[in-house]
Amino acid sequence: MSRVDSRLLSIKPPCSLSRTPRSISQFKFWKAHEWLAWLLYYSLPVLKGILPVTHYIHLALLVDCVAILLGTDISLAQLVYCERGFVQFVSDFENLYGKQHLSFNVHQTLHLVQSVRDWGPLWSHSAFLFESYNAVLLQMIRGTQGVPMQILHTFFLTRAIPANVASVLPRCSAAEQVFIQSLTSHRRKIKTAITPSTGVTVLGQPIYRNLKRSDYVALHSMSPVVHQTVVAYYHRAIIRGEIVHSLTYCRSLKRNSYTVRLADGRQFQIVTFVVTDLGFGKQCYAIGRYLCSVPYEFCVSKKMALKLTHAVAVSKTPSALIAVDARDIVKKCIFVSLSCCNVNFVFDQIHSLEYTM
């Protein structure tokens, strides 16, 4: 989970939200990505029971349509649904909040569907990437004179260096190659890492110890016979290019990076990683608990059938420990738990592609 998400999770649940002007004024310091995370993941669980029903349904319609347009596989039926949804959203906005608050930005939502038809999902032509590059451009400026030429020369230099390095490296000695790569590479080196399974790399020093009784029982879901009693425990792993943490590791970070979605579509929370041989060669297994989905309706609208396909309500009752193949982990999810709700919520990170482009 990103730092933005972890900060937003620190918001108090609805039953204890402060209504003072000071708590409201803090929102004006949020960045655009924080507002996006609030809209997609936190607004509906937190505001349930606070907003009037009509206003809550109005907000849910916006969340639903934006979540669909930020997806990766958008159907024509979904575009038609979102087009109707935004028309309904703008139409109800004036009735709920007054014509004086019907700003140009609200009107712009009517054009989002056409933008997706013309250019693809919203994340593929988002302005966030261009805005974030402003910090890179500022670092290219060294004086007050000829600013455009400074940026141009520095930009061409950064483009030329990789090409020149590629042509020079074959003629260099091994020591020279290591030195040149150390100057041009910005990747942080991983001190300790092994790859026990294809597509899975565990990080950090292993902790060798006897299998806990609960972990021993959990591993029997992968194999009827568990021969090894001493196994290697890990807290972090890189799966499908994404770092996933265990529950034990995340307690010190005060964030949730251990809630994931599996290949079969189920939600899962990782307690620990174990590398052992269950008769199929040395593999990495994630030991944790399934999150059981339960019936839950954020809201019911008579005008439109709200989908909210990126949100799942799960039971607060913990299930028994079970082991899964770490390769079955597809992606991390956002987990929201509120003390005043009888269910927890799991959200798919539907705008994560924007951070990796």
The reply to whether 8 and 83 lie within a common domain is yes
pLDDT bracket for residue 9 (50, 70, 90): very low
Residues 6+ apart with CB under 8 A from 289: 268, 269, 271, 318, 319, 320, 321, 322
pLDDT bracket for residue 237 (50, 70, 90): very high
- pLDDT of 188 reads 58
Q: Which of 108, 128, 148 is the last residue of a domain?
A: 128
Question: Which region, left, alpha or beta, applies to residue 341 given φ > 0 means left and ψ of -120 to 50 means alpha?
Answer: beta
Is it the case that residue 218 has pLDDT exceeding 90? yes
Q: Which domain holds residue 95?
A: 3-128
- pLDDT of 353 reads 54
The reply to whether 315 and 200 lie within a common domain is yes
The reply to whether 107 and 151 lie within a common domain is no
- Of all residues in the chain, the percent with pLDDT exceeding 70 is 87
Question: Number of folded domains in the chain?
Answer: 3
**CA 95 to chain centroid:** 35
Q: What is the mean pLDDT of residues 77-100?
A: 92
Is it the case that residue 8 has pLDDT exceeding 60? no
Q: What is the mean pLDDT of residues 245-269?
A: 88
| Segment 29-83, tens digit of pLDDT | 888 788 888 999 999 999 988 999 999 999 999 999 999 999 888 999 999 999 9
pTM: 0.75
Is it the case that residue 196 has pLDDT exceeding 80? no
The reply to whether 138 and 124 lie within a common domain is no
The reply to whether 72 and 154 lie within a common domain is no
Is it the case that residue 24 has pLDDT exceeding 60? no
| Segment 269-298, tens digit of pLDDT | 999 999 998 888 889 999 999 999 998 888
